[in-house]
Structure 1
C-alpha cells in the first residue's frame, strides 16, 4: 500500500479528515486520531488492545507493537504488508473513534 492509497482510503470514510503535514499526514474523526504516517513505509493506527493482539497474531509481517506503542492504543502497520488487512485496521480505527 502506498501513502497515497492510505490517504484515499482514509478520506473515503465518512467524517475522516486529513490533518498533519505533507511529510506526516494524519487522519482524524472529530479530532480523534485514526492513523498517522510516521515514515514513508510505516503507519501508526489506533487499535483497542484486543484488536491489536489479533492484528499482530494474524498478520505478523504487517503489524507490530514496538516498545514506544506498548502503553498506547496503537499498532504499527508496515505499508509493504497486507493491504486488505491495513484497510481493515483503518476501518476499525475509524469505527473506534466514532463511538
Structure 2
C-alpha cells in the first residue's frame, strides 16, 4: 500500500490479486487449504500493523477517501477473497479432469 500511496498507482493491488489467486489455486490443487486461511488472516494482521504505523501522516488518511485506511483494508481483504474463490474452483475442475 505504501508504494501505491507514494506513486499514486494501483499496481500493488493488482500484484496482490494475481499472487493470492495463484496461491489459492495451487493450495487447493495440492489439498493445502489451511495455509490459504492462515495466509489471509496473517495478511490482514500485517496490513493492519503497517497501516497503524502510518496513521501519523495526514496525507495517508486522505489517500483512501471516502473510506478510512482501516475500512479500506477490510474492504480489500474481503474483495480479495472473490478471485481466490474462483481460483479454487478452477483448481477443483483441473484436479477432476486429471483424475478422469
Quick check: TM above 0.5? no
Report the TM-score when normalising by structure 2.
0.26
| Structure with greater helix percent | 2
With the length of structure 1 as denominator, give the TM-score of the two structures: 0.26
The structure number with the bigger radius of gyration is 2
Which structure shows the higher strand fraction? 1
